Structure 1
Amino acid sequence: MLTLSIFAVLLILLMIDVPIAVAIGLTAIAFFVGMGQSDFLMMLPQRMYSGTTGFTLLAIPFFILAGNLMNTGGITTRIFRFAGALVGHVPGGLGQVSVISSMIFSGMSGSAVADAAGLGQIQHRAMVDAGYKPGISAAIVAGASTIGPVIPPSIPFVLYGAITSVSVSRLFLAGAIPGVLMGIAMMIGIWMMAGPRGLPSSPRAHLREIVASFKAAFWPLLAPVIIIGGITTGFFTATEASVIAALYALLLGFAYRDLRVKDLPPVLFASLKQTCGLMFIIATANFFGWFTIFERIPDALIMQLTAFGASPVAFLWIVIAIILVLGCFLDGNAIFLITLPIFMKLCPIYGIDMVNFGVVMTLLIMIGNLTPPVGMCLFAVDSFAKVGVWKLAYECLPYLVAILLVTILCAFVPEISLWLPNLLMGKEG
């Protein structure tokens, strides 16, 4: 009963447009006071501070900065041109190009919103100019942008690793194959819709154009190789990789002369704003997580699930249902911070691998990015597409189905995500 009351209050606060960080913190404070435990509020500053001081979390601002530098430094244009030369002639033409370019860009930024807001504008403009309806074009951009946090590097994986103490390097590798499967599923969906919805395609590119576009995009394409190669060889950690990604994006921007010194202040300020907003949510959510543990909510849920005789399969279906519902109302980072303190205690009981669980959770959160009323990718794309959030959400349904199918596959066939980290880093203990 207490658990339902807590989450009911939290959802009510969110539905009346209370900022996420404030809603999370207020919920914990209200229940401490309401249950006569206000003395424990002295822990609020300490828990908020400790929630944002982990070494792993240092990767978040640098990956955010890397994504913003890439969007400003002309890297996205080169990636889009190369993807167009490869698959522009396939049915669905520029829609297929958008998915491929997002898969490439995701190997550098790790953020769905960065993908949608930066590369997405180039994709949308190109598709509309080629004759795509704005709603269809915007939906393709929004759907493709969700690949960003699954193919490494990934900001959600960094956050998941910081909360659960799971190796971020293993999480990065675990996301590679599911991310590629997401892209393939979306490309199949676009190919199937190409005829019925009249999606044009481009003439097949000449070999000369393929080579020229590859040369132009060579150094950006090298970024994922450097990042993932360095992590798997142990040359640097996932956190250090974020710094390297940001420096690499900075060097390329200046080398291509698309980034100037006067562009740096707005890029740095935008990155600072995004980082501060996310860190404030992390800080208050850490206090909320401590509150749930203090009130023994995970223990109560364990007892209830044990009493029901829930199997590992049933538990996974329960998780999928919970996250899909929460994804309609909460930002993905908030979902991680609220639910993981509970789920991370339940997974070992049911023999669920925490690395694969991280991949499944991230995929579910990507679905939440495409579901209103709080779909972050919908907001990011609609900010320039101007087609309306609800119409955009409707057009995104085929991509939601594609992501959900990949999610279910990964949830119940964990070898899909675990094969690569086990191959390159060996099996854990």
Structure 2
Amino acid sequence: MIAIGIVFLVLLFIGAPIAFVIGISGFVFFLQSDIMPLSIGVQRIATMSQSFPLLAVPFFVLTGHLMNASGITERLFHFANVAVSWMAGGLAQVSVILSTLMGGVSGSAVAEAAMEARILGPSMLAQGYSKGFSAAVIAVTALITAVLPPSIGLILYGYVGNVSIGRLFMAGIIPGILMMIVMMVTIYIIARKRDYVAADARKPTAGELGRAMWGAKWALLFPVLLVFAIRGGVLTPSEVGAGAVIYAVVIGTLAHRELTPDRTLNAFREAISDIGMIMLIILMSGIVGFAITFLQVPQQLSGLLLGTISEPHLVVIAVLAFLFVIGLFLEGTVMMLLLTPIVVPIITSVGFDPVHFGILMMIVVTLGGMTPPVGVAMFTVCSLLNCRIESYTRESLPLIGAVLLLVLALLFMPGVVLFLPNLVF
């Protein structure tokens, strides 16, 4: 295992593509093993692709691109702008609402952050918001997208950890809403102190709010239909992904009449690029996952951890702290694939619900994308807004602190996270 770790770190340090970092590191295990032929590694790659639940990933990635091309994003932005732009920190509050609404569409925090940086970023800067504050709000609020269905990360966690994806989808709804509220309150406090209030701000009338909501009705209806389709047993999570693609095409062509052939082709082109990258990482992770299981790493870490800590909540806190530190250096998708097989046996051995833990892990792991030194969402937003990393880091601390306090609160309130899964299933 030490050799795998060394090769992994060296390749990561020299900037090799992450899929090849994982794949080459995994093959090192077979090359130095006397009892495992190299052909087993190739078989593990093929085995990772033979999964029905995994079909949800490419379908939901494609759905996100099709919905962006069909005018749904613009309608969600208009609704969010009408609903909360009158508050202190108006456009920053719009970012929070838009992230929440996009959580039911894109399923990707990085994609959502990039989209908001293009749509909201210039307007925030024009209204006098600092670059650091604008970038921090756009990047960190995208974290909400990661826990609301159809979250790509939750699909991967459920697939690798053998946890119900339907229950995970349900479990992410209340924490996602709570995260929205916590971030809105944090932004409101900061905006009041800095006088980030639009001079012409006014509350919308009921008619204005109703018209904006009606304009975004098809986007707002999508996550509701998704939940009912899974709960009613009409579709599995994988089949819901296929249904979501059909939904996006129908709405874009018949309802909004904006999904032209050129836009459709461009959406497929972007989706293929994203899917290829994600699936290559998933396939290569099968080799490392096999090595981790064969070397009994989860059992060894569990014995080490449980030998020093007996309180279940302290065990989970220790695991989450470990994930947070690792998340500062590794991309979230990679962490979900490589570390889920290690940590799930540990937390289940102390009697902790894997669905409850999955939501906490998803938040902490995705948060790494918003933090230095290698946060993907952070670099994406900062590059689009031409913002210095130092300024971003300073402004992001209050929001990150608020999120971590929420994670701690959710840890000790399992009923909040598991209320909907237990009610629905």
TM-score normalised to structure 2 length: 0.94
Name which of 85, 88, 93 aligns with 1:88.
85
Q: Is the 8 A contact 1:106 1:147 kept in 2?
A: yes
Report what 1:252 is aligned to.
Answer: 251
Report what 1:188 is aligned to.
Answer: 185
Q: SS where residue 146 of structure 2 aligns?
A: coil
Q: SS where residue 288 of structure 1 aligns?
A: helix
Name which of 44, 47, 50 aligns with 1:47.
44
Report what 1:222 is aligned to.
Answer: 221
1:175-232 CA-partner distances (Å, limit 9, x unpaired) = 0111111111110110010122231233222333212212211121111111112112
Q: Is the 8 A contact 2:121 2:135 kept in 1?
A: yes
Q: Tell me whether 1:143 sits opposite 2:140 in the alignment.
A: yes
Q: Tell me whether 1:10 sits opposite 2:45 in the alignment.
A: no
How far is the alpha carbon of 1:117 from its aligned partner?
2.2
Report what 2:402 is aligned to.
Answer: 402
How far is the alpha carbon of 1:378 from its aligned partner?
1.3
53-62 vs 198-207, greater mean Cα deviation: 198-207
Counterpart-to-counterpart distance in 2, 1:310 and 1:366: 28
Report what 2:172 is aligned to.
Answer: 175
Evaluate the alpha carbon distance shift between residue 279 and residue 94 of structure 1 in structure 2; reply closer, same or farther with a 3 A threshold.
same
Identity level (%): 37
Q: Runs of at least 4 residues of structure 1 off by over 6 A?
A: none
Report what 2:62 is aligned to.
Answer: 65
How far is the alpha carbon of 1:351 from its aligned partner?
0.4
Report what 2:26 is aligned to.
Answer: 28
Counterpart-to-counterpart distance in 2, 1:231 and 1:388: 43
1:348-380 CA-partner distances (Å, limit 9, x unpaired) = 211011111111110111211111222121133
Q: SS where residue 371 of structure 2 aligns?
A: coil
Report what 1:375 is aligned to.
Answer: 375
Counterpart-to-counterpart distance in 2, 1:309 and 1:116: 38
94-103 vs 406-415, greater mean Cα deviation: 406-415
Counterpart-to-counterpart distance in 2, 1:95 and 1:380: 18
Evaluate the alpha carbon distance shift between residue 257 and residue 104 of structure 1 in structure 2; reply closer, same or farther with a 3 A threshold.
same
Name structure 1 gaps, 5 residues minimum: none
Counterpart-to-counterpart distance in 1, 2:122 and 2:77: 12
Counterpart-to-counterpart distance in 2, 1:45 and 1:233: 39
290-299 vs 248-257, greater mean Cα deviation: 248-257
1:318-356 CA-partner distances (Å, limit 9, x unpaired) = 211211111111111111111111112222211011111
Counterpart-to-counterpart distance in 1, 2:380 and 2:394: 16
1:301-323 CA-partner distances (Å, limit 9, x unpaired) = 23322432443123112211211
Q: SS where residue 396 of structure 1 aligns?
A: helix
Counterpart AA for 2:164: S
Evaluate the alpha carbon distance shift between residue 52 and residue 379 of structure 1 in structure 2; reply closer, same or farther with a 3 A threshold.
farther
Report what 1:301 is aligned to.
Answer: 301
TM-score normalised to structure 1 length: 0.93
1:23-82 CA-partner distances (Å, limit 9, x unpaired) = 122222224434x43843211111111112211111111111111122222211111111
Report what 1:123 is aligned to.
Answer: 120
Q: Tell me whether 1:233 sits opposite 2:232 in the alignment.
A: yes
Q: SS where residue 196 of structure 1 aligns?
A: helix
Q: How does 1:338-349 map to 2 (within 5 A)?
A: 338-349=338-349
Q: Is the 8 A contact 1:107 1:153 kept in 2?
A: yes
Name structure 2 gaps, 5 residues minimum: none
Evaluate the alpha carbon distance shift between residue 7 and residue 352 of structure 1 in structure 2; reply closer, same or farther with a 3 A threshold.
farther
Q: Is the 8 A contact 1:289 1:338 kept in 2?
A: yes
1:249-293 CA-partner distances (Å, limit 9, x unpaired) = 222222323321112222101101111111111111111010011
109-118 vs 9-18, greater mean Cα deviation: 9-18
344-353 vs 130-139, greater mean Cα deviation: 130-139
Q: Is the 8 A contact 2:66 2:267 kept in 1?
A: yes
Counterpart-to-counterpart distance in 2, 1:291 and 1:48: 12
1:102-134 CA-partner distances (Å, limit 9, x unpaired) = 111211221112211224421223322333223
Counterpart-to-counterpart distance in 2, 1:191 and 1:306: 42
Q: Is the 8 A contact 1:77 1:119 kept in 2?
A: no
Counterpart AA for 1:251: V
